[in-house]
A and B are shown apart, each in its own frame.
Chain A
């Protein structure tokens, strides 16, 4: 199975900051990676698919990049509603696997 390792596991930041979350795959997954946001008590929300394509309706302050084994999710100018947990998902091969999550907290 492909292992997905996210870093950091948690992150403290302030409104207006720029943050970057990393996801590393245990093998090449091309660009077969999605990013999800999960706010406390809510269902996950698709932010980015195919590593860098913004899902419809998602604010442009979110962006994704990477290919192969290393991927990043960047959030520019953090807003209060962005404080949540973020997960990556590889779908290069089954079983698909999520990263362990990155909890973004208010500083």
Chain B
């Protein structure tokens, strides 16, 4: 099970930290991923992180602004989002795995607006 939290309304330029709490599987054995979906739009791959946190990858438009991390002791992954823009408004999903995303959370909504 994956449960995201931390979304909300934030002004442009602001920050948010999303969390994804995992249970029911060996969290430390899996890559983890964030995918987002703007209202009424398609899916966007945002970032992923290796099992031990040693490798992290990002989509171009969030590089330098977003940071993915994980705490295997807490079975959780995080997405620190800084310098938020209106175009970051989306439902942010947490997913298990590097690419074969079988299990997804229900998402947490981030709205960037003044």
- Which A residues lie at the B interface, using CB under 8 A? 1, 32, 34, 36, 38, 43-44, 46, 49, 55, 85, 87, 89, 91, 94-101
The answer to whether residues A98 and B45 also contact, given A43-B93, A43-B107 and a CB cut-off of 8 A, is yes
Give the A-B pair count, Cβ closer than 8 A.
52
Task: Report Cα–Cα, A10/B99, bound state, in Å.
Answer: 25
The answer to whether residues A87 and B42 also contact, given A43-B106, A95-B58, A95-B59 and a CB cut-off of 8 A, is yes
A49: chain B residues within 8 A (beta carbon): 99-100
B45: chain A residues within 8 A (beta carbon): 89, 95-98
- Which B residues lie at the A interface, using CB under 8 A? 35, 42-45, 48, 57-60, 93, 98-102, 104-107
Q: Which residue of A lies closest to B101 (CB)?
A: A46
A89: chain B residues within 8 A (beta carbon): 43, 45, 99
B99: chain A residues within 8 A (beta carbon): 32, 34, 49, 89, 91, 96
Task: Report Cα–Cα, A94/B42, bound state, in Å.
Answer: 18
B101: chain A residues within 8 A (beta carbon): 34, 36, 44, 46
